């Protein structure tokens, strides 16, 4: 059991992460995933280019109006801007909370061709201590749940959610707010109903495992996917359909004590991710703060504008700030499509994230 003082410190951090009108930038792509993003703009995947890319995003002036926290990758939490300031200092100066991805990617589950579990529990306690010393205030662990004709299996859901709970407990013991991310993948041709059912099963198991492990929910942030038809289903759900299905599950299974929910974008386009979040807030007052923690849906347009060319830095930051502002408005149900005028947000979803 954690003492009350520790829980209240975690709860304060968690509340700041989901403060009204703000959300989280996920900038924690692995080297491999950054490589895919860079390939789309013909940029070499070098340490210096990754540093410049993160500098573009993390130094956009005024982003603290919309962004409460940034999830960093291990390399980035140790890097400095071209001006010599550590990225952690840059974020702190803007009152933005530094976070860190602590999982170590996916491996096959029980020899399955389809299902995965997440690596990274070995030695995690020691790594968390180091990240705290480097200035991290919260952490992220991503598990994936795959929908196909034969999956997800109940065993895979239990293993993934039990690992998320173990990670969450270690985080809280180290003084970090755990962001627990069981991502139900968008890939596949499944229906909205199937996605909704799998989201529900996954979250029921997650909450049960968190409680069993003694994780304090008031110091925990859920990072969830939305209930949405599969990418290859040929069906485009309306924002109202996505919102009703997703919030319907949340209201059924999430306890009130949970500090907040943030969404991943999961391959939705920038506009779709904003519209869907906005629609959640058209449903009236929600029992928890609900906001964004997007990677692709915050970065795509800015990345394409930047292209690795320093001359495009300010234009790229403008695109990024616009997207952040649109999502900030969506997190309050105040977004309208005509606010996009003058900006061409990326319409198509990007390749996979890890």
Q: For ligand 13P, which residue of 22, 116, 190, 296 counts as binding (CB under 6 A)? A: 296
Residue 181: active-site member: yes
Backbone φ and ψ for 92, nearest 5 degrees, come out as -60, -40
What tokens does 227 get?
């209930």
Burial class (CB in 10 A: 0-12, 13-18, 19+), 187: middle
Q: Is 353 in the site for ligand 13P (CB under 6 A)?
A: yes
Q: 1 vs 243, which CB is nearer to ligand 13P?
A: 243
Three-state SS for 119? coil
Under DSSP, the state recorded for 84 is S
Residue of 101, 116, 140, 223 with catalytic role: 223
Q: Is 68 in the site for ligand 13P (CB under 6 A)?
A: no
Q: 60 vs 185, which CB is nearer to ligand 13P?
A: 185
Q: Is 295 in the site for ligand 13P (CB under 6 A)?
A: yes
159-163: long-range contacts at Cβ-Cβ below 8 A with a sequence spacing of 24 or more? Answer: 159/109, 159/117, 160/117, 160/118, 160/202, 161/202, 161/205, 161/206, 161/208, 161/209, 162/209, 162/213, 163/117, 163/118, 163/121
Q: For ligand 13P, which residue of 73, 87, 141, 294 counts as binding (CB under 6 A)? A: 294
- By CB under 6 A, which span of 74-82, 249-257, 259-267, 333-341 interacts with ligand 13P? 259-267
For residue 266, the minimal CB distance to ligand 13P (Å) is: 4
Q: 297 vs 326, which CB is nearer to ligand 13P?
A: 297
- Give percent helix, percent strand, percent coil of the chain, each to the nearest 5: 50, 15, 35
Q: 159 vs 265, which CB is nearer to ligand 13P?
A: 265
Q: Is 25 in the site for ligand 13P (CB under 6 A)?
A: no
The contact set with ligand 13P (CB under 6 A) reads 26, 142, 181, 264-266, 294-297, 353
């Amino acid at each position: 059991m954690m003492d009350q003082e520790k829980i209240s410190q975690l709860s304060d951090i968690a509340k700041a992460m989901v403060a009204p009108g703000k959300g989280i930038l996920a900038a924690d792509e692995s080297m491999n995933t950054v490589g895919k993003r860079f390939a789309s703009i013909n940029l070499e995947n070098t340490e210096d280019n990754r540093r410049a890319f993160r500098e573009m995003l993390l130094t956009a002036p005024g982003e603290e109006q919309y962004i409460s926290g940034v999830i960093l990758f291990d390399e980035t939490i140790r890097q400095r801007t071209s001006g010599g300031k550590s990225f952690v200092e840059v974020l702190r100066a803007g009152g933005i909370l530094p976070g860190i991805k602590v999982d170590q990617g996916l491996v096959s589950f029980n020899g399955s061709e389809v299902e995965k579990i997440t690596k990274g529990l070995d030695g995690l306690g020691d790594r968390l201590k180091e990240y705290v010393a480097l200035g991290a205030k919260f952490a992220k662990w991503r598990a994936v749940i795959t929908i196909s004709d034969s999956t997800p299996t109940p065993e895979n859901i239990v293993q993934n959610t039990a690992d998320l709970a173990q990670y969450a407990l270690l985080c809280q013991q180290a003084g970090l707010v755990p962001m627990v991310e069981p991502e139900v993948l968008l890939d596949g041709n499944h229906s909205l109903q199937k996605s909704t059912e799998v989201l529900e099963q996954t979250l029921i198991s997650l909450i049960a495992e968190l409680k069993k492990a003694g994780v304090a929910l008031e110091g925990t942030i859920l990072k969830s996917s939305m209930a949405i038809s599969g990418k290859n289903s040929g069906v485009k759900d309306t924002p109202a359909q996505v919102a009703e299905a997703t919030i319907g599950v949340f209201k059924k299974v999430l306890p009130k004590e949970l500090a907040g929910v943030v969404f991943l974008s999961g391959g939705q386009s920038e506009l779709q991710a904003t519209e869907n979040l906005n629609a959640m807030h058209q449903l009236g007052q929600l029992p928890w703060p609900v906001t964004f923690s997007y990677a692709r849906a915050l970065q795509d347009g800015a990345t394409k504008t930047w292209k690795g060319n320093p001359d495009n830095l300010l234009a790229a930051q403008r695109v990024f700030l616009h997207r952040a502002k649109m999502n900030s408005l969506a997190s309050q149900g105040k977004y309208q499509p005509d606010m996009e005028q003058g900006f061409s947000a990326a319409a198509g979803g990007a390749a996979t994230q890890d």
